[in-house]
Every structure is written in structure tokens, then in C-alpha cells.
């Protein structure tokens, strides 16, 4: 069983450019999460999908950020007009649909490291 | 609001020493889950353990052991006979339930450096 995958692993962009990241969750995991991690900090929740529905967005997710999960499988996170403060690691996680502990345990991908110059 | 505190920013030990990573949490929920994740230099968060709030039994897995005490709101992690490969940042996390789903609140992490 393959784990969560993310693409690209690294992205360097200039301020003002748009970037898009992709996350492929563990197959059959219907729950998908995006987190952001800045240097020296723990990951912070950005948004959550159950199947294709985006059910929660953090206040950290400004209007320049948009996430989609069109067919309930992979997800994309787009940042428009990037700013230097967007430089961070963007982590994706997924969890299973089974009630109880299965739903609670999130498995993370390797992350996408974004540097905005 | 939920909160996880990892007071130890960085710990350095010599190989074969035992080391304990502290985690203190705050929550108003009566049902919750606690987690430990390992983040090696490659960046991927690796799941280590999950513990629900009704299960205060300590757990041992090889060189790893966890001590959960609801009375002190702590969930500490001990590595016995540390190895260089244990060098990583370790995060404690608390699940927060929101109408049928959970998001994780992480501590700031403890960087563990094990030298030969």
C-alpha cells in the first residue's frame, strides 16, 4: 500500500507568481487535510475535505489560497500572488473512513517546501 | 482552545542514553486522542503512536515507550538506548473534534540530536 504522495517536493518562485501543489492520499482514504509548517513550528491546520466536499477552512487560509478535491481522490492547493510570508512546508495528510481510531489517525505525505523570493 | 506544550526545544544525548520527551496538553473535550509523530530531516511526518483519552495504559514498542497520565495532562515519550537514527524532531499532537471530524493541534516539537 503506497503512502500519501505530494508533488512537487520543492518549489522556488518569485513573489507575485501563482503556485499549485498536488496531494495524492492513501487509496480509499476519504478524508484529506492540508497543513502548513513554518520553520521551528509544528504543523498548523489549513483545510479539510471529506470526499470532494471542503468542510472546514482555517483562518490561516487567506483569499489567495484555494484548495480543491474534484473527484474525491487527489487534491490541489493553489496560492495566488505569492508573498514571502507564504514560504513554508505544505503538508498533506489523509485518514480512513472507518469510524473510531481509523478516522482519527492522519498519515502525512513528504510535504512540498515552498520558497518565495 | 486546545493547546499542546513541548517545553524542551532541543535535547542532545550520546548514543545508548535513555531520553524522555515531555508533552503537556490542554483540552475541554472528554474524548480526545493524543499522538506522537517523528519528523526526520527529510521532512515527512511519521506516525508513531495514537492513544485515546480512555486508555491510560502505558505502551511499549521496542525501544519506545509512552506514559499517559490524565491527572497531569501529560503524554511523555521515552526512547531507551538511543541511536543516531533517532535524531529527528518529535511532535506531540492532540485531536480536536469538529462536528464529526478531527484536526490536529501540534506542539512546537522537540529536536533530538543523538551523537555517536
Ordered per-residue pLDDT tens for chain B, 116 residues: 789 999 999 999 999 999 999 999 999 888 888 999 999 988 899 999 988 888 888 888 899 999 999 999 999 999 999 999 999 999 999 987 665 677 899 999 999 999 99
Cβ <8 Å between A105 and B47: yes
Nearest CA-CA distance, residue A80 and chain B, Å: 24
Nearest residue to B41 (alpha-carbon basis) of A19, A89, A87: A89
Which among B93, B101, B105 has CB closest to A55?
A: B101
Q: What's residue A72's pLDDT? A: 85
**Contact criterion met (CB below 8 Å) for B53 and B33:** yes
SS3 category, A61: coil
Residue percentage of chain A with pLDDT more than 90: 76
Q: Does A40 touch chain B (CB under 8 A)?
A: yes
Contact A86, A36 (CB under 8 A): no
| Chain B contacts in chain A segment 6-25 (CB below 8 A) | none
| CA distances to A24, A43, B3, B29, B81 from B25, in Å | 31, 16, 6, 11, 27
Q: From the CA of B97, how many Å to the nearest CA of chain A? A: 9
Amino acid at each position: 500500500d503506497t503512502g500519501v504522495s505530494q508533488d512537487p517536493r520543492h518549489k522556488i518562485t518569485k513573489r507575485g507568481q501563482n503556485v499549485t501543489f498536488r496531494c495524492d492520499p492513501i487509496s480509499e482514504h476519504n478524508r484529506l487535510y492540508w497543513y502548513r509548517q513554518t520553520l521551528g513550528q509544528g504543523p498548523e491546520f489549513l483545510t479539510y475535505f471529506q470526499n470532494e466536499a471542503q468542510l472546514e477552512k482555517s483562518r490561516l487560509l487567506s483569499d489567495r489560497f484555494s484548495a480543491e478535491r474534484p473527484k474525491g481522490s487527489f487534491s490541489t492547493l493553489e496560492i495566488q500572488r505569492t508573498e514571502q510570508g507564504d514560504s513554508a512546508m505544505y503538508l498533506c495528510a489523509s485518514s480512513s473512513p472507518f469510524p473510531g481510531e481509523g478516522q482519527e489517525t492522519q498519515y502525512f505525505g513528504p510535504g512540498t517546501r515552498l520558497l518565495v523570493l | 482552545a486546545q493547546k499542546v506544550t513541548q517545553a524542551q526545544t532541543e535535547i542532545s544525548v550520546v548514543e545508548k542514553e535513555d531520553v524522555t520527551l515531555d508533552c503537556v496538553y490542554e483540552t475541554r473535550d472528554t474524548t480526545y486522542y493524543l499522538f506522537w509523530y517523528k519528523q526526520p530531516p527529510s521532512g515527512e511526518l511519521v506516525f508513531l503512536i495514537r492513544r485515546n483519552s480512555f486508555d491510560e495504559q502505558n505502551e511499549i514498542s521496542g525501544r519506545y515507550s509512552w506514559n499517559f497520565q490524565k491527572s497531569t495532562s501529560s503524554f511523555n515519550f521515552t526512547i531507551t538506548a538511543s541511536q543516531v537514527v533517532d535524531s529527528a524532531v518529535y511532535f506531540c499532537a492532540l485531536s480536536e473534534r469538529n462536528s464529526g471530524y478531527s484536526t490536529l493541534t501540534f506542539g512546537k516539537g522537540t529536536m533530538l540530536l543523538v551523537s555517536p
